[in-house]
Amino acid sequence: MTEESRADRQSPVGEPVVRSDPAVTGDRAADAVGFDPTDPDSVAEAAETVGRFAGGGVGDDDNVLMLRGAAACAALVRGVGSYKEAAERAGDRVSVAFIRKWARVHDLPQAIRRQVANGRIAPSAAKHVARLGGRDRYLLAWATIDGGLTVREVRAIASAVNDGADIGAAVRDAGVELGRLQVSLPPETYVELRRRASMETVEPSAIVADAVDEYLADDR
């Protein structure tokens, strides 16, 4: 499986895969709402949901409800066939640009949407992560978490990459080093890792990288 294909969403449009997972959203998982773009009644519900979403009916601090709004945007577009008609169905307050931005958030890979649902990536930042494609989306999402990037910084990085900048250079300009991750280890594991690295005259990160590569090999 290629990096590009892993970044393409495979689950049905409008299905609350992340929002219905108790490991991510806790008790709210039972209230997850899905939208079926092939069902006229569900499309109508999506249009109503998008209208409330665009009108400020969802607070910016409610990540789960904002993901529901994003799902409604994506299902509505698929249901009616175009962004323009989707905006018309959702009401006068809804623009094509609004629906396009949030539909792209819904189409982000599940691994990223899970971090939006649990609050580690703000929905307003996810909109800018979604402007990128393939591997760059993952890199910007993880840099957002590991580097504590603000929404403004995420937006600037996405704009720079879309203008032709390298994602690594754009993230470094924001003060974040891609691939730098702080981990906590049990004392015994830590001692043995340090001992082995010293004996092999390598940095501990090299051993960790090899171990992670081996662990992930079956998924590649």
Alpha helices in the chain (DSSP H): 3-6, 22-25, 40-54, 63-80, 83-90, 96-106, 110-117, 123-129, 134-147, 151-162, 167-173, 187-200, 204-216
Q: Identify the DSSP state of 38.
A: T
Share of the chain above pLDDT 70, in %: 90
pLDDT for the residue 60: 59
Rounded Cα distance, 113 and 179, in Å: 20
Cβ–Cβ < 8 Å for 123, 67: yes
50 contact partners, CB below 8 Å, separation of at least 6: 69, 72, 73, 76, 86, 90, 91, 94, 99
Mean pLDDT of 169-192: 94
pLDDT for the residue 211: 94
Query: Torsion over CA of 41, 83, 139 and 26, rounded to 10 degrees?
Result: -20
Q: Assign 20 a pLDDT band (cuts: 50, 70, 90).
A: confident
pLDDT, one tens digit per residue, over 58-117 is 655 688 888 999 999 999 999 999 999 999 999 888 999 999 999 999 999 999 999 999
pLDDT for the residue 12: 61
